[in-house]
Chain A
């Protein structure tokens, strides 16, 4: 069955013919499905952002705007140059900032969070996007495993006071897990850092967004 002879010209031409035919068919299907795939991607991205918004703010009335994070405090969020956040707007008015934030203090590696904060500085919701914590120990930070992550809702830098923004083991108000303190500590500290970042940027951010929405208002 194994053919030892070298391929001849006719065989190469046949291979070329099959390749061209298949290329044409696959390209056609790609063009036919492109629009739908882009639509699915967009809707998946919207779902991704909406998971940290209020369940009441899910309709088409809410729009999202990509926003560059220009801050010297980028490393506070564990991000790098060029990373972006999103601003959620209702009727042109900013209602929330959706900020990616990465902790490198996890047990198994980076813990990637998505934090939704409203413009009064209160957390709407926090979700874990990806992590490498130990299953059964550190993975209770996932909403699918436990509702622990919901403890951040409605919290702000003054509720609780900054010094209580820690797990109980460190004198704070947030539960740790039995036998696993490192993971929740990393998440709590990262959420606090994200709030701090937003508090520092909020005024400038709000001004920029409104002036961009109504350019004449500036005069």
Chain B
């Protein structure tokens, strides 16, 4: 988790230390909002922006952000970025703000944002912080898109519904409805189905890991330094 460790690479956020698949952070927006690809894309982009903005800000102010009050300061900065993002979405994509509802302001409490601000941004120069935020945010966005696409396709029988919420009127005829709503797996459109799907995705990642890197061939893993809680799934040393 620390760039000075041999273990850290900014790109681990995409797979090895994925914020959701490994750290199990940011679950509530993931389960609640991903009923369609459009909602997933909207929430993922706003989260990426907030993550990048707050990481850069925390890195710039890192000399002030220490001591007993560093947590309230980080939260203030994150909440400010979320408020700005919410104002802009409401001004320029009002229907998207309506579709995301409470999960737009709730990005403030997304632990992915806070954990990156605390462990990386508040301790490292701006380049490291920005790269880390971009990678982590993209990993989160990619997973939202995968979950959103699967849930929309098999839960509603469509893809690209409501894309006009993000891309405007040109996107109104992007809707692709390969099968009728009567032939869908309803559970996928509910949070319980999203939870099961996430479980399958985590299991698939662990399977791929063990298949690509059979433990006999892989070099003995170094214990990961720092808090053990950063890894919640997979191999925990």
A residues lining the B interface (CB < 8 Å): 3, 5-8, 11-12, 14-15, 18-19, 22, 25-26, 29-30, 33, 36-37, 40-41, 43-44, 135-136, 145-146
Contacts and interface: CB of A to CB of B under 8 A. Distances in A.
A14 B73 contact: yes
A124 B95 CA distance: 25
B170 interface: no
A7 B186 CA distance: 52
A26 B72 contact: no
Contacts, number: 65
Given A5-B68, A18-B77, A44 B88 contact: no
B91 interface: yes
B83 interface: yes
Contacts of A29: 83-84, 87-88
A10 to B, nearest CB: 8
The interface size bin for chain B is 20 to 34
Contacts of B95: 44
Query: Which 10 pairs, one residue from A and one from B, show the smallest C-beta to C-beta distance?
Result: A40-B94, A7-B68, A36-B91, A33-B91, A22-B80, A136-B186, A11-B67, A3-B68, A11-B69, A33-B87
A30 B87 contact: yes
Given A29-B84, A33-B87, A18 B94 contact: no
Contact of A26 (B61, B73, B83, B190): B83
Contact of A37 (B64, B77, B90): B90
A25 B189 contact: no
B174 interface: no
A168 to B, nearest CB: 20
Nearest to A36: B91
Given A7-B67, A18-B64, A37 B87 contact: yes
Contacts of A26: 80, 83-84, 87
A14 B94 contact: no
A18 B61 contact: yes
A127 to B, nearest CB: 15
Given A33-B88, A44-B98, A145 B181 contact: yes
B187 to A, nearest CB: 9
Interface string B76-93: 110010011001101110
Contacts of B189: 135
